[in-house]
Amino acid sequence: MARQELARFLRDRRAGLRPHDIGLPATGTARRTPGLRREEMAELAHMSVDYYTRLEQARGPRPSARILDALAQALRLTPAERSHLFRLAGSSAPPSISAVRRVRPHVARMLERLPETGAIVTDAAYGVVAWNPLAQALFGGDLGGGTTNLARRRFLGQGRMYESSSTEEFGHIAVARLRRAADRYPHDPELTALLAELHADSEEFRQIWETRPVHAPGHRTKTLDHPESGTLRLNCDVLLVPEDDQEVVLITADPGSPAARTLHRLAGKTT
């Protein structure tokens, strides 16, 4: 266990957080040092102030995996930082318990800067965690709302699904990603429930699952039959948010194409 390095890492990460970052009210008293107080961090990590202080002063015992996970969550560590925390404590980082189902503010703000590009963010289990108005105009008003899951849409018909040339291909893409998620988050209750539901209610899902498909995110072209705008030839490109195991899907059209004019018109309606 690298006590001094662990103590320094905890102090540095605590200093980088502000009360508003984690939903704490701003206090009226001036802070002598930047970042959260030790008392605030201990409360967030559900441990005593004395225990946390000893860790920061390199005097504490070797923390358990439960303590380390609590610290990682309280400090809002990325997966890479979490693994580093475990290494400093002389432990191997176990898999994260759950997929990340919140979108980082800078990713959400990026969606707002793409007026003529449809954009959605999905978590490791294909839950839609963020979207912009143009994506909603393209894929239906029921997109989002904190409950949309694209795998449920695809295999169980939950939500509005427009006909698309990539429907069959997306089935294999979705199963490949869900298989990866099952390996990474074996104890995630929401993911476990989703997979049980898909296995129980979709013969197609069960068949594709048994083929063990493998897919890497990249560029795809699809034709979408929109109920109001007709047939649209669209480009789909995926950007990764690796620290949260999320994907940003960008939907565009070739410049000067009929689909591009349609996206321009739909974007105008959403502003």
Statement to judge: residues 158 and 264 lie in one domain: yes
Domain boundary among 36, 54, 88: 88
- Residue 26: what pLDDT? 57
- Residue 224: what pLDDT? 86
- Residue 97 domain-assigned (yes or no): no
Cα(53)–Cα(56) distance, integer angstroms: 5
Statement to judge: residues 84 and 50 lie in one domain: yes
pTM of the complete model: 0.66
Statement to judge: residues 119 and 60 lie in one domain: no
**Cβ atoms within 10 Å of 137's Cβ, excluding its own:** 21
Cα(260)–Cα(270) distance, integer angstroms: 15
Evaluate if residue 20 carries a pLDDT over 80: no
- Residue 100 domain-assigned (yes or no): no
Statement to judge: residues 223 and 174 lie in one domain: yes
Statement to judge: residues 162 and 232 lie in one domain: yes
Domain boundary among 88, 123, 156: 88
Statement to judge: residues 62 and 125 lie in one domain: no
Statement to judge: residues 49 and 155 lie in one domain: no
Statement to judge: residues 134 and 36 lie in one domain: no
Cα(74)–Cα(180) distance, integer angstroms: 26
- Residue 220 domain-assigned (yes or no): yes
- CATH number for the domain that contains residue 35: 1.10.260.40
DSSP character string of 225-237: EETTTEEEEEEEE
Give how many domains the chain has, as a whole number: 2
In the chain, what is the straight-line distance between the N-terminal and C-terminal CA atoms, in Å? 55
Domain boundary among 35, 55, 88: 88
Query: How many CA atoms, within 13 angstroms, populate the side-chain half-sphere of residue 82?
Result: 21
Higher-scoring residue by pLDDT: 147, 124: 124
Q: How confident is the model at residue 249 (pLDDT cuts 50, 70, 90)?
A: very high
- How confident is the model over 158-176, as a mean pLDDT? 77
Which residue range is the domain that position 31 belongs to? 3-88
State percent of the chain over pLDDT 90: 42
Please count the helices (runs of H) and the strands (runs of E) in the chain: 12, 5
With contact defined as beta carbons under 8 Å apart, do 6 and 58 qualify? yes
Higher-scoring residue by pLDDT: 92, 253: 253
Match 């000893």 to its residue by tokens.
54
With contact defined as beta carbons under 8 Å apart, do 75 and 13 qualify? yes
Statement to judge: residues 109 and 153 lie in one domain: yes
- Residue 147 domain-assigned (yes or no): yes
Statement to judge: residues 146 and 251 lie in one domain: yes
Cα dist from 170 to 165, 167, 194, 213, 232, whole Å:
10, 5, 17, 11, 17
- CATH number for the domain that contains residue 222: 3.30.450.180
- Residue 165 domain-assigned (yes or no): yes
- Residue 96 domain-assigned (yes or no): no
- Residue 29 domain-assigned (yes or no): yes
Statement to judge: residues 133 and 265 lie in one domain: yes
Cβ burial of 89 (10 Å; 0-12, 13-18, 19+) is: buried
Statement to judge: residues 199 and 131 lie in one domain: yes
